[in-house]
Structure 1
Amino acid sequence: MSAPSALQALRESGIRISSDTAEYHQILEFKADLTDATTNPSLVLAAVSKPEYADIVRDAVNFARGRLPSASVREMSALAMDRLLVQVGAQISGIVPGRVSVSVDPRIAHDYHAIIRKGETLVALLEDLRIPRSRILIKIPATYEGIRAAQALEHPSTGEPIHTNMTLVFGRVQALACAQAGVSVISPFIGRVKDWWDVNGGAASELSQHPGILLVQNIRSTYAAHGYTRTQIMAAGFRAVEEIIELGKYGVAGGPDLVTLPPNLLDGLRTRTSLGPALKFTPHPINLATAPHYFGGPDSTNGASLYARDILEERIADTKVPEGLAKFSVDAQILEDLVKRKVLESAEVSAML
């Protein structure tokens, strides 16, 4: 019997594998090893820029024209863009058995009410496509307003909850706030964490000292110490197969519940054998007495000011979140412009008939 691949070994360690692409034709190749999937506007833009995904843009535009026949181009384009995002998610949900993350617009990352409205809209559109909300994660940037909005979606005063995946997580402050808010999933960005520490703390010489890996281990230790069992860790933004293998050696006990990976890294794991020897995880020491309460707890009335103070002190998220939002927002605007052009083209064709 041949040795299992690193991809199989990672799955057998208890860590679930998620695909990180909107190019759903590529996901089929890895279907046997996948449980979940993630998308975002940047990934959708990359997909629909290819000829083989052109039909899905046309279908989204036709849907919007049919649903809002008398609407302005702006309103029609907004609905077409939302429909495009959920159509990609629906296609992927037919391939993976677990949950699919669909993103809100990164340009509303600091607008509490807009995030809630967008989350509800995306879920309603997915349910129109017969995707139950139990299989949906609404991906929201982990700003303070984003975490507040996620809390409201996860714990509504009436109606069914909408589950969330908090993206652009770079530090322990964000991770702690998300768990206190009771979100379903957080996504720490392994590679970008290392980028920041390479500049601000010096490059690590050993993989075991990789700042992104250490962050995941710190979050795992923090959640275990506090008893935060609701919120799962989905490690994202890996740059190399070696990072995944190193983190995977600790299994779920010292690593993430899930990893989300683009096709090139899935393929890289598939062509490597094993993860190497499993490593015993020693939890990081956590002082529960000094833990701030951003959401819930006796001092949570000052949660916003405590969060702002601690984010500034920790520094990394204060830099990396705006940087990540800027990149995603550029791609969201390009995608919106593409959809708007298609809406205008369809209107011109309709006027000629």
Structure 2
Amino acid sequence: MATSGYKAQSEPSYCATRVSVLPLIRRNSIVSCTSSLVGLKKNFVEINEFQEDLTDATTNPSLVLAAVSKPEYAHVLQDAVDFARRRLGPASVREQTAVAMDRALVQVGVNIARIVPGRVSVSVDPRIGYDTLAIINKSKILVALLEELEIPRSRILIKIPATYEGICAAQALEHPSAGEPIHTNMTLIFSRVQAIACAQAGVSVISPFIGRVKDWWDSQGGPRSQELSQHPGILLVRDIRSTYAAHGWGGKTHIMAAGFRAVEEIVEVGKYGVEGGPDLVTLPPHLLNGLRSRENVEPRPKFDSVPVDLAALPEYFASTCNSAQGASLYAQHIMEEKIAAVKVAEGLAKFSADAQVLEDLLKRRVMESTVEVLAVL
């Protein structure tokens, strides 16, 4: 295969904001782009700088940990602990830590939400990624905290890992038997099976991870082509788009591509517009800068959809996720694809490790605060 000349970079671990696909005009050419920024001091400045291009934001335990590890954001931890003490009164260290954890996750998202005008994605704890009921309960708690901080439900997306249990939880949240829906952003999407299941469940947003999909295929001994037209992550997005369009899911479940390593990947995935690419993308500030400075981009070509056999589409989710047949079929197809079975567990392990570190920091603060109160008494 020919080499296109783009150089893959390490995937940023600090991506935090999400924006809708907006055209950047460069000498009468159009590049579809959006941006992803982090809740650190430096990047709050960048959020303001790129505000005209930004609409939404996301965060997760890894991003919150990165933020509060900086001295200038250490107060977020103490503020969360103080909130837990006020909210619970006399309570165990474990109970206070749990509430402080939720508050810290929400607060970083709220800080960004006060800059960008659109939706905020806040993650559930990745350690409950295989527990449907726990995800549902945690999602409701996070939404309540966000609403207390004057973020209306219309601006909230709860980010949930795309395990089968996570998709079940998202379906229940998006389509409750009573009360208002909670809209969801399904993260750790690596396969067509996951994308189909999410659309059948009626979720609002899916986030396929472009770079990590390529990593997987490279690790499997596939040709390490730098030809962008053969990039496995970009091909996945086009396959999902074709499937969604053929089935009528387009516009109902949005595709938000994530995990880019190079400007050229963004240009390639967006060159067909929404017809052949994602509705949204996330990227770090240096890629948005690179996208802005890009000149003489080719005009948008016509997209030829990937053929889709509608009759052959499996049904993983019907009105509920309680179908044993659907669950079995989903598990079978995930194992056949292999990639999601490995990469979802890998991603959850990384996020869970950071969540544990964050929780340990908060637990120490709770214990220190308890000792201080006892000393005063």
Range into which the TM-score falls when normalised by the shorter chain: over 0.9
Q: 1:75 to 1:198 in 2, by over 3 A?
A: same
The amino acid of 2:348's aligned partner reads L
The amino acid of 2:374's aligned partner reads A
Distance 1:164 1:73 in 2: 30
Count of matched residue pairs? 347
**In the alignment, is the contact (CA less than 8 A) between 1:110 and 1:143 conserved in 2?**
yes
**In the alignment, is the contact (CA less than 8 A) between 2:54 and 2:116 conserved in 1?**
yes
Distance 1:279 1:161 in 2: 38
Distance 1:205 1:46 in 2: 32
SS at match of 2:136: helix
SS at match of 1:261: coil
Identity of aligned residues (%): 69
The one of 233, 238, 254 equivalent to 1:232 is 254
Post-superposition offset of 1:15: 5.1
The amino acid of 1:17's aligned partner reads T
The amino acid of 2:352's aligned partner reads S
SS at match of 2:188: strand
Post-superposition offset of 1:249: 1.3
Q: Could you tell which deviates more after superposition, 188-197 or 48-57?
A: 48-57
Distance 1:7 1:195 in 2: 29
Superposed counterparts of 1:27-176, under 5 Å: 27-176=47-196
Post-superposition offset of 1:264: 2.6
Distance 2:247 2:74 in 1: 47
Distance 1:248 1:9 in 2: 14
Distance 1:297 1:151 in 2: 9
Q: 1:50 to 1:276 in 2, by over 3 A?
A: farther
RMSD: 2.1
The amino acid of 1:94's aligned partner reads R
Distance 1:316 1:170 in 2: 7
1:136-165 Cα shifts (integer Å, max 9, x gaps): 100000000000000000000000000000
Q: 1:92 to 1:127 in 2, by over 3 A?
A: same
Q: 1:20 to 1:215 in 2, by over 3 A?
A: farther
Q: Could you tell which deviates more after superposition, 235-244 or 180-189?
A: 235-244
Distance 2:232 2:326 in 1: 27
Question: Which residue of 2 is the match for residue 336 of structure 1?
Answer: 359
Question: Which residue of 1 is the match for residue 207 of structure 2?
Answer: 187
Distance 2:264 2:212 in 1: 16
1:325 maps to 2:345 = no
TM-score calculated relative to the size of structure 1 = 0.93
Distance 1:148 1:301 in 2: 12
SS at match of 2:282: strand
Distance 2:233 2:331 in 1: 22
**In the alignment, is the contact (CA less than 8 A) between 1:7 and 1:270 conserved in 2?**
no
SS at match of 2:74: helix
Question: Which residue of 1 is the match for residue 10 of structure 2?
Answer: none
SS at match of 2:36: strand
State the 4+ residue runs in structure 1 displaced beyond 4 angstroms.
12-16, 297-301
1:17 maps to 2:39 = no
Question: Which residue of 1 is the match for residue 7 of structure 2?
Answer: none
Structure 1 stretches lacking a partner, 5+ long: 1-5
Post-superposition offset of 1:32: 1.3
Distance 1:247 1:287 in 2: 23
Distance 2:32 2:177 in 1: 33
Distance 1:264 1:113 in 2: 39
Post-superposition offset of 1:14: 9.1
Distance 2:296 2:259 in 1: 22
TM-score calculated relative to the size of structure 2 = 0.88
Superposed counterparts of 1:245-324, under 5 Å: 245-273=267-295, 275-296=297-318, 302-324=325-347
Distance 1:206 1:98 in 2: 35
Q: 1:209 to 1:54 in 2, by over 3 A?
A: same
Distance 1:211 1:225 in 2: 21
